């Protein structure tokens, strides 16, 4: 009801609800006063032989309806249901949600805060932290990266060692907290840059050659010159990318969209914009810390092998005991 700016709708709904409930009670009362002739029909017949008899409702059934009307009026007195009237208890779905959030924060924030004080390597090695991180991942990240974190077309795989903005623990945490934006300019509208569609095809063949994919060697040779002149500013002279700006490595045979020549030509011509939304206002730093540890521990983070995590976790535990 808070969405309605006019008080008319609140009054309209209140009247409609009360008339409906009280009308049911009045209808029941009129039926009690009606004259019935038990055993006789009302002369209403359906399907040739189905007759309606003039029998009153059983008392238990009738009183059940009356109790329903009384319960409805009582409910409307204490809970919202009459327009803007909040009821005697002042209950609202927003209020209940806020209370549940407050209760959850009081219960779980101390746990997240304790993990926040630990190194991400140690958190990634903690089974309890991994379970909490997995729950956060399935809630906030799986929609794009998949429940197995292996991504999809246009959404990075978080279990391999290919990272647009770096796989170090703090880099992953920064991606979660601040979000990321990576832009591949469109060169199709600038023939002087790569030489139009023909030039885009040459660049595509050279890019495919960087990953050892089948290519036209003549076109690739021409494309190398254009790549060095135009593309190397972001992807580097060797095409190994730049995590500072989110430029992908073109030599590792890992493709966010497709390795097909037509797909690469399309990207060179039309460009691409990738955006990872910031989650700092949704998660807060403590939860982002645990989530970053979970993503890091999936195996794709820099140095995040099982042995390394276990060793790091043990070392941190020993330091904690010494302190």
Give pLDDT, residue 52. Answer: 86
CA distance 297 to 204: 34
87 part of a folded domain: no
Shared domain check, 106 and 243: no
Nearest to 2, CA basis, from 76, 95, 102, 73 = 95
Residue 256: inside a domain: yes
Provide the residue range defining the domain that includes 72. 7-78
Which residue shows structure tokens 């790569």? 194
Q: Which of 177, 175, 253 is nearest to 209 (CA)?
A: 253
Is the separation of the CB atoms in 111 and 132 below 8 Å?
yes
Q: Which residue has the tokens 């060179």?
A: 268
Quick one: 146 and 202 in the same domain?
A: no
pLDDT at 4: 58
pLDDT < 50: residue spans in the chain = 1, 307, 314-323
User: Within a domain: residue 89?
Assistant: no
Non-local (6+) Cβ contacts of 208 within 8 A are 214, 215, 220, 259, 261, 264
- CB contact burial 153-184 (16+ within 10 A = b; e otherwise): eebbbbbbebbbbbbbbebbbbbbbeebebeb
Number of folded domains in the chain?
Answer: 3
pLDDT of residue 305: 56
Residues 173, 285, single domain; the answer is yes
pTM above 0.75, yes or no: no
Residue 147 lies in a domain: yes
CB neighbour list of residue 282: distance below 8 Å, 6 or more residues apart = 140
| Structural domain contains residue 90 | no
- Of the residues 47, 78, 109, the one at which a domain ends: 78
Does residue 309 sit in the same domain as residue 161? yes
Domain check: are 74 and 112 in the same one? no
Beta strand 50-53 with 41-46 is antiparallel
Judge if 19 and 164 occupy the same domain.
no
Residues 145 and 228 in one domain: no
In a domain, 95, yes or no: no
C-alpha–C-alpha distance, residues 294 and 136, integer Å: 9
- Tell me how far apart the 2 most distant CA atoms of the chain are, in Å: 102
């Amino acid at each position: 009801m808070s969405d309605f700016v006019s008080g008319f709708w609140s009054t309209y709904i209140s009247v409609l609800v009360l008339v409906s409930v009280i009308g049911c009670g009045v209808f029941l009362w009129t039926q009690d006063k009606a004259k019935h002739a038990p055993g006789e029909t009302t002369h209403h017949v359906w399907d040739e032989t189905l007759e309606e008899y003039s029998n009153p409702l059983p008392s238990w059934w009738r009183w059940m309806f009356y109790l329903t009307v009384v319960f409805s009026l009582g409910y409307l007195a204490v809970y919202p249901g009459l327009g803007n009237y909040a009821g005697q208890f002042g209950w609202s779905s927003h209020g209940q949600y806020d209370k549940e959030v407050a209760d959850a924060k009081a219960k779980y924030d101390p746990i997240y805060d304790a993990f926040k004080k630990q190194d991400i390597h140690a958190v990634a090695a903690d089974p309890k932290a991994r379970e909490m991180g997995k729950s956060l991942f399935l809630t906030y990240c799986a929609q794009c990266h998949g429940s197995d974190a292996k991504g999809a077309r246009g959404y990075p795989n978080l279990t391999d060692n290919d990272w647009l903005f770096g796989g170090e623990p703090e880099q992953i945490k920064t991606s979660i907290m601040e979000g990321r934006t990576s832009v591949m300019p469109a060169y199709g509208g600038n023939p002087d840059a790569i030489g139009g569609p023909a030039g885009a095809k040459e660049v595509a063949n050279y890019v495919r050659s960087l990953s050892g994919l089948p290519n036209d060697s003549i076109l690739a040779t021409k494309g190398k010159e254009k790549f060095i002149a135009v593309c190397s500013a972001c992807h580097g002279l060797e095409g190994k990318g730049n995590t500072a700006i989110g430029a992908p490595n073109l030599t590792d045979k890992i493709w966010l969209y497709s390795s097909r020549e037509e797909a690469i030509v399309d990207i060179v011509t039309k460009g691409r914009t990738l955006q990872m939304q910031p989650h700092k206002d949704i998660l807060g730093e403590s939860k982002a810390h645990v989530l970053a540890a979970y993503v890091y521990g999936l195996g794709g983070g820099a140095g995040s092998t099982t042995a390394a995590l276990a060793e790091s976790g043990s070392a941190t535990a020993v330091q904690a005991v010494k302190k």
